[in-house]
Structure 1
Amino acid sequence: MRILLASRPHPGGVRDPFTSLMPTGLGYLNALLRENGFGSRLANLSGASWRDVEELLRQECPAILGVSVFTHNRFESLRLAALAKKIDPACLTIFGGPHATHAFESILAEHPEVDVVVLGEGEETFLDLARAVARGDRNFDAIAGLAFRQGTRVHHAIRAPVADLDALPLPALHMDDSWGCDVRRQLEFIITSRGCPASCRFCSSPRFWGKALRFRSPRAMVDEIRAIRDRYGLIYFSLRDDTFTVNKERVIDFCRLLLEEKVYILWNCQSRVNAVDEEMLVWMRRAGCECVQYGVESGSERILAYLGKRITPEQVRRAAKSTRRAGINLSIYLITGVPGETDEDLQATLKLINAIRPHDGHVAPLAYYPGTALFDEAVRQGRVSANLFDREREEALYVRNDPFVVHSAETLLRTLHRLGGKARFGPADFATQRELLGYCHGANLAEGEWCEGMGNFGRAEALYREIVERQPGNPWGWLALGGLYGSEGRVERAEKAFGRVISLVPAHVPAYLALGDLRLEAGDRRGAQQRYEEAGRLSPRDPDVGERLQMISGRRGTKKGGP
């Protein structure tokens, strides 16, 4: 029995670095199904034509099609289900994900092309469903976690959350035959917990995961990172938990393991400003954390209260100061277009971001999503229709559409862009960080990069050499040295440094590409092509690899060597 697990973003998100990826939940479903003997396959349909999609469905001929549905891709998902039914009416079409979970009643009532909706996290539910279908049993009454039509009504039953997240198999071990997926880019993103301690009115996460937080152990987290590094060569990761730092002891244990076991990576995470302190941030920086993204949203206490953030501007200032002091880049999320938001509120936000000096930030207008207190309130008050998401086809449905929202978003973005350069760490910051952290490979890399930008290549080389002398097995030091030597034209040294990276992390694709670039600059086209082809065998869907291979075969211009 074939099972196809697919996602297709809204056309506007095809080039977006996040929405063009498959949701991480599909990877867990795929791994669990495979380890239980089912023929499951992942398909990232981002960028594929509908003709390609139809051809894939005909080739796979899945008995079950599982589709991950977010608000932005709700109509693409419906079209995908309808196409599957057109090709094979017996195909069981299953929706899952946040939008499907919170809008299951309208989906099942209005769209016969959808047979079943998995509610909330779906691993155990989907496995039970697959077993029933394999037995030829289409009576799903006994399966908790499903919603489906039963005559003229919609039946649904809630399932308890997965109790032991460590027991779930690793997605990375079951992705090599994925369709349309750049596996390395996909696996950069890791989830290590489920749930969020907050109750923000614009977010559906608490209702999706449940209010109780569940955590993967530090041991399981480090083992997954090592498995991905060894199999796919990744040494940079993005930990996408809603609030990674909510359990201080777990975070410090995770950092301690990374350091003790010499798992040399860089990484970033998301958090809340009231869920960090300096001790934790210092541990994180020493273990390779280079950026924390905080949901700041606004500098106005009135707007923060409306959004249900349960934070204050003073907490934002304290967290930002501790983050910068530890040498971690500060990134913030901001929201505008809140009902009743005025220029006075905008000025409060501008004052706050000027005070904290973020390295970068993101601005989004406030939008409605099913499963949020914000949307429920708007429906009760008659400001929007309960069938808003069926009636309107926009990728995002914003709460306000007026000139102030445009003005506010543009003003905030300009300010963030202006502050970005000024917020960079400088010599005084690096001195403070060294005093606070002691030796730290991430801090050396950041200071070395700054020195290169200032033309102080000798100091940059000394900082990178300190990494490889203290930690000979740290690929980041060799990678930085290779890039520095390549930029200075010291080709032999650069090649040795990149070769050392490959000896430490044999599947590290950027090192192969850098070696190819150096060979090409030296006029050795055959040597360059060999390196690019080695990278292509490791990562056939990597766009950088494809560009190099096209360049070398088309005899176009060269790219400068470096990581």
Structure 2
Amino acid sequence: MVRRKLSGLTKQGVGTSVNRYGSSRFVHIQSYPPIVAPLPSALTNIAAVRIADKTKSKRDLKVLLITPPEGLWKEKVGRPWISTQPLGLAYIAAAIRDKGFQVEMLDAYSLGLSGQMIARKVAESQPDVVGISSLTPQWPDVEALADIIKTQNRDIVTVVGGPHVTALPRESASHRSVDIAVVGEGEDTMVEICEAAAGETGFSGVDGIVLGLNGEIESTSLRVRNMALDQVPFPAHDLLPEPALYNPFPVWGTGGNFSCMISGRGCPYDCSFCDVTGQQGKRYRLRSAVNIVDELTWLHEEFGVRTFSFRDPSVVCKRSRLMEMCELISERGLDMGWTCSSRANEVDLEMLEAMKNAGCRLVQYGIEVGNAELLKEIKKVSKERVIQAVSDTRKAGLSAHGYFLFGFVEETEETLRETVEFSKQLELDSAGFAVMVPFPGTQEFEKYRQEGLLLTEDWREYDVMGKPVYRHKHISNEKLTRAPRLAYRSFYMRPGIIARHLRKMTSIGVVRNYLRSARMMFN
């Protein structure tokens, strides 16, 4: 049994302790006073030089990995109602610990911690290296967090990584409080950064990073991607809050402690709006079925996980592996409900029936649009194949969820209407609609930038729940902003869909999540 606590973070209204299988209650933090003054330029980007002069053993070097809380840049944070385990940082934590370093994790995003609370944790832990992950809309929070860390101790080596940093590493490394930007997957890179910080090597010998030293930006060689994923340690879930803290989207599953996992990395399809290929490469790198089910068994037995979601697109990409995985889940008697994502061209009825027998409840399809020509343009699956996949999913007794996006460069008002109508023609149980965000590193970002249509590069605006960050050639921003809300109403305000979801409201927690979803959809 693994027991954990949030040391130093249970005072002043932050939260209560959490039992292994129980629930937890955390106070919503509305605001806090500023605690950091602007850093003088003389203090910027020098820790990576200084700490190398202070030789430390692996046993002595301390590492703290942090997810940034939402709203830190504007000094107003709170717990999000949707959150999942930060797998990327948990993988890095496991790799660092496996090499003998001391490591802690602080999921400040899911806990909704204020800057004061984070500063107190940094002061308590006294880390030598702090790693921070970042999606694009989180970058302003990462900058604020890095400033807080440097104010606590300017000798701390601050390392940033994640999708946004990989797409824009030189820009990321140029921030005054950032020492190192990690490009791509971080396990091996962070291990080598820690070894350099311990004085074993130099930072310039670490592949896959951009250094920000004394105002100069220096890139090292690209890192070769890890192909042996079965050799990667399981994510360090024991360093995270209890699974009961995390709240998945209602369609992902309910009825027990939730977790998420990945079955592989990379993707060969190169969709125009997706940055997975830039992050992880254009080919699948897969874990074995045995390795996947070993992790599921571990999550179930050690952490009481009852439901989980595969967060990668590759779980169904290799038929033989999927069938073996389903057989192993059944053989081991793992009573776990799960969901996954798939392209419509990668499933068939037999596979879906095997998934159902192994506990799968729902398959999510990235359908995106309902116009045949636009599907080709963005490199997605044909309408005919989508119809077949959704039909087979329902025949197998599984729920089917579809994701749709509005706002591709080639979009018109007619294609908007086609997408909504197509969503209703399909046998979907649920659907999600959003305005397409052209994240850095994607083909859509380059299209909009090259045509001079981007309205801002204020990254906090690059939010899937926000307004368009571009001027569309054919559709007004007002109409684009309204499109998801109108689509939600059109899809869900149908008697059959309403009745289907009412049957799923089997507990107060489920009802609460549905009400939150409805408020998000229709406001």
Q: State the AA in 1 paired with 2:158.
A: T
Which residue does 1:4 correspond to in 2?
64
Aligned equivalents of 1:33, 1:323: Cα separation in 2 = 40
Where does the alignment leave 5 or more consecutive residues of structure 2 unmatched? Answer: 1-60, 248-256, 514-523
Q: State the AA in 1 paired with 2:63.
A: I
Which of 210, 230, 247 is 1:166 aligned to?
230
Residue 99, structure 1, aligned to residue 169, structure 2: no
Q: TM-score, normalised by structure 1?
A: 0.70
> What does residue range 76-115 of structure 1 map to in structure 2 within 5 Å?
76-109=141-174, 111-115=175-179
SS in 2 for 1:254: helix
Aligned equivalents of 2:390, 2:239: Cα separation in 1 = 43
Q: State the AA in 1 paired with 2:224.
A: A
Residue 369, structure 1, aligned to residue 439, structure 2: yes
Residue 333, structure 1, aligned to residue 333, structure 2: no
Which residue does 1:33 correspond to in 2?
96
> What does residue range 153-552 of structure 1 map to in structure 2 within 5 Å?
153-171=217-235, 174-178=236-240, 188-309=259-380, 311-384=381-454, 388-389=456-457, 391=458, 393-396=460-463, 398-399=469-470, 400=472, 402-419=477-494, 421-422=496-497
Aligned equivalents of 2:205, 2:281: Cα separation in 1 = 22
Aligned equivalents of 2:290, 2:129: Cα separation in 1 = 34
Alpha-carbon distance, 1:193 to partner: 0.7
Deviations 1:309-355 (A, max 9, x none): 2x111111111110011010010101012334333213322332222
Aligned equivalents of 1:175, 1:415: Cα separation in 2 = 40
Query: Is the helix fraction higher in 1 or 2?
Result: 1
Higher CA-based Rg? 1
Aligned equivalents of 2:491, 2:77: Cα separation in 1 = 23
Q: Is the 8 A contact 1:358 1:423 kept in 2?
A: no
Aligned equivalents of 1:140, 1:182: Cα separation in 2 = 39
Q: Is the 8 A contact 1:175 1:183 kept in 2?
A: no
Q: Is the 8 A contact 1:357 1:420 kept in 2?
A: no
Which residue does 1:120 correspond to in 2?
184
Q: 1:85/1:10 Cα in 2 relative to 1: closer, same or farther (>3 Å)? A: same
SS in 1 for 2:222: coil
Aligned equivalents of 2:495, 2:212: Cα separation in 1 = 52
Which of 105, 128, 149 is 1:63 aligned to?
128
Aligned equivalents of 2:242, 2:259: Cα separation in 1 = 16
Where does the alignment leave 5 or more consecutive residues of structure 1 unmatched? Answer: 426-445, 454-479, 488-509, 511-542, 545-563
Aligned equivalents of 1:209, 1:252: Cα separation in 2 = 25
SS in 1 for 2:432: strand
Aligned equivalents of 2:327, 2:118: Cα separation in 1 = 45
Alpha-carbon distance, 1:404 to partner: 1.8
Aligned equivalents of 1:98, 1:382: Cα separation in 2 = 23
Identical-pair percentage? 28
SS in 2 for 1:292: strand
SS in 2 for 1:377: helix
Q: State the AA in 2 paired with 1:281.
A: L
Alpha-carbon distance, 1:184 to partner: 6.5
Q: 1:329/1:392 Cα in 2 relative to 1: closer, same or farther (>3 Å)? A: closer
Q: 1:423/1:292 Cα in 2 relative to 1: closer, same or farther (>3 Å)? A: farther
Which of 118, 135, 157 is 2:199 aligned to?
135
Q: 1:13/1:24 Cα in 2 relative to 1: closer, same or farther (>3 Å)? A: farther
Q: 1:403/1:316 Cα in 2 relative to 1: closer, same or farther (>3 Å)? A: same
SS in 2 for 1:270: strand
Q: Is the 8 A contact 1:2 1:39 kept in 2?
A: yes
Aligned equivalents of 1:52, 1:4: Cα separation in 2 = 14
Q: Is the 8 A contact 1:365 1:398 kept in 2?
A: no
Which residue does 1:533 correspond to in 2?
none
Q: Is the 8 A contact 2:136 2:459 kept in 1?
A: no
Q: 1:154/1:424 Cα in 2 relative to 1: closer, same or farther (>3 Å)? A: farther
Alpha-carbon distance, 1:292 to partner: 0.4
Q: Is the 8 A contact 1:240 1:269 kept in 2?
A: yes
Q: State the AA in 2 paired with 1:211.
A: K
SS in 2 for 1:332: strand
Aligned equivalents of 2:114, 2:295: Cα separation in 1 = 34
SS in 2 for 1:246: coil
Q: 1:407/1:177 Cα in 2 relative to 1: closer, same or farther (>3 Å)? A: closer
Aligned equivalents of 2:130, 2:495: Cα separation in 1 = 44
Q: Which has the higher contact order (CA 8 A, sep 6+)?
A: 2
Aligned equivalents of 1:180, 1:329: Cα separation in 2 = 28
SS in 2 for 1:308: coil
Alpha-carbon distance, 1:403 to partner: 2.2
Q: 1:420/1:215 Cα in 2 relative to 1: closer, same or farther (>3 Å)? A: farther
> What does residue range 12-51 of structure 1 map to in structure 2 within 5 Å?
15-18=79-82, 20-46=83-109, 47-51=112-116
Q: State the AA in 2 paired with 1:394.
A: E
